[in-house]
A = this chain, B = another copy of it.
């Protein structure tokens, strides 16, 4: 997973079309960010070094289990890491995953649109 950094930096989405395997590997990350609740959770987690679930839950009009479910989706997508310390559970972003996604997107703005054909 760490070595995927190299892939991200050299074959972004816009330089060469992704094959089915690449797409299948990356899509779940985008999918995880494709829900407004999870996107907000993600940004709350990313905006600090780490954050307790007890600080995340009250920000939403949703039940605890629902928040827990969304956090699990983010976890399983490899976007965040969780760690229990005593009573509370703390969440932190996994920067590699973020970098990976960012690298896929940022380049695609560069090539000229009207140029080729």
Specify how many copies of this chain sit in the oligomer: 2
> What are 29 A-to-B residue pairs whose CB atoms are below 8 Å?
A13-B39, A13-B46, A15-B47, A17-B44, A18-B39, A20-B40, A23-B36, A24-B36, A27-B34, A27-B38, A27-B39, A30-B30, A30-B33, A30-B39, A31-B31, A31-B35, A33-B34, A48-B116, A48-B117, A49-B112, A49-B116, A49-B117, A50-B116, A95-B109, A98-B105, A102-B102, A102-B106, A103-B106, A105-B105
Q: Output the least CB separation between A18 and chain B (Å).
A: 4
Contact surface of A with B, Cβ cutoff 8 Å: 13-20, 23-24, 26-28, 30-40, 42-44, 46-50, 92-93, 95, 98-99, 101-103, 105-106, 108-109, 111-117
